[in-house]
Amino acid sequence: MVRLHNVLRFFGYRFLAVADYAENRTFFQPEWDRYFKENPRELIRVDYPLNENSLVIDLGAHTGEHFASKMYSRYSCNIECYEPHPVTCAALRETFKYNPKIRIHEYALSNKNDFLDLEGSDLASSFTATSTGESHVVLVKRASEEFANIPHINLLKMNIEGAEFEILPDLIENYGMEKIDHVQVQFHTFVPDFKKRKRQIITALEQTHDKMWGYENVYESWSLKSVLH
């Protein structure tokens, strides 16, 4: 039985796709349709060669229901969850309060250390997209510095409403993508010059990783070449 939140997400994504098309003239709804048709339970997002010793970084963890919970249920892995929205993060803490292998960080990552305005509600918030909803001033830390003492990341997942365009270049330049086995990312089209910036990121990422699967501007997954060969 399809859960109600999945139905709401599906129609929510349809609305966002239409809005995105109207503003950016970028129509990608067919990719969402293809994604849900081929992955009705979204199992592709949690299918990685992980185990109980693996480290997963979840950027944009939200309440933990859609990704972190599924990853832990499948692998009992270590998960670092990042969620800057105070309301959402409170729910995230409640979800995993008895699980010592899942750590919660109530701040965001970017390419600098700062305090930024987080626009939008707990359902959808962003540093880059404008919103008429709530606004919260939240702590932001530089990703390459945050990961500086982490020698190896098994999976880095990013669904962070445009901040991927700041974080990935910072990690590529200052952390080293060869330390990350797998990268799962959703690229967001409302970011200015997103096509050019995405192309630059992909060109750099291709030096170390191969694209394993992808749905354009929906989700895509990259794996380290040395892990594959």
Summarize pLDDT for 99-147 with one digit per residue, the tens.
999 999 999 999 999 998 887 544 444 444 445 567 889 999 999 999 9
Non-local (6+) Cβ contacts of 129 within 8 A are 119, 120, 161, 162, 188, 190
- Count of structural domains within the chain: 1
Residue 32 lies in a domain: no
Residue 20 lies in a domain: no
CATH code of 156's domain: 3.40.50.150
Residue 29 lies in a domain: no
Distance between CA atoms of residues 129 and 188, nearest Å: 10
The share of the chain scoring above pLDDT 70, in percent, equals: 81
Contact (CB, 8 A) for 181 and 224: yes
Residue 9 lies in a domain: no
Q: Which domain holds residue 89?
A: 43-228
Q: Which tens digits make up the pLDDT trace of 179-201?
A: 999 999 999 999 999 999 999 99
**Secondary structure tally for the chain: helices H, strands E:** 8, 11
Q: Model-level pTM? A: 0.84
Of 199, 111, 89, nearest in space to 163 by CA: 111
Residue 26 lies in a domain: no
